[in-house]
Amino acid sequence: MAKHRRPGPPNQPSRAAPRIDADAPLAAYDKRRRPPMDIPRRHRPAHGGASHLRPGEARVLEEWNGFAYEPVGTAPNLAAAQAWMNQLQTDNGPAA
């Protein structure tokens, strides 16, 4: 059976990266500085484990600084962490 290209899961952003201008002198550098999967903010459970389990527990909030994710605060629960993540999209328009 032949290999088929399938789209990723519907609950994840597209993995397609925007085109890089080949004439730009810092194009390779800028490509490395993009956050993984173009997600500038993320949250993680404070005590580890899957993010969908125990939605009432605290979350660590992280932002991409150009090189790695760094902690910027905490949220008391999953709903507050998701609201913090979505705040960037509503302040600056939809994330591309």
The domain limits of the chain are: 41-92
- Report the DSSP pairing between strands 41-45 and 59-64: antiparallel
Provide the terminal-to-terminal Cα distance of the chain, rounded to the nearest Å: 36
User: Regarding predicted confidence, which is higher, 55 or 94?
Assistant: 55
Provide the pLDDT confidence category of residue 88 given band limits of 50, 70 and 90. confident
Provide the pLDDT confidence category of residue 96 given band limits of 50, 70 and 90. very low
SS3 state of residue 96: coil
pLDDT score, position 17:
58
What percent of the chain clears pLDDT 70, i.e. is strictly above it?
A: 69
pLDDT tens, residue by residue, 9-28: 666 655 555 566 778 887 77
Instruction: Compute the distance between CA of residue 55 and CA of residue 78 in angstroms, rounded to an integer.
Output: 5
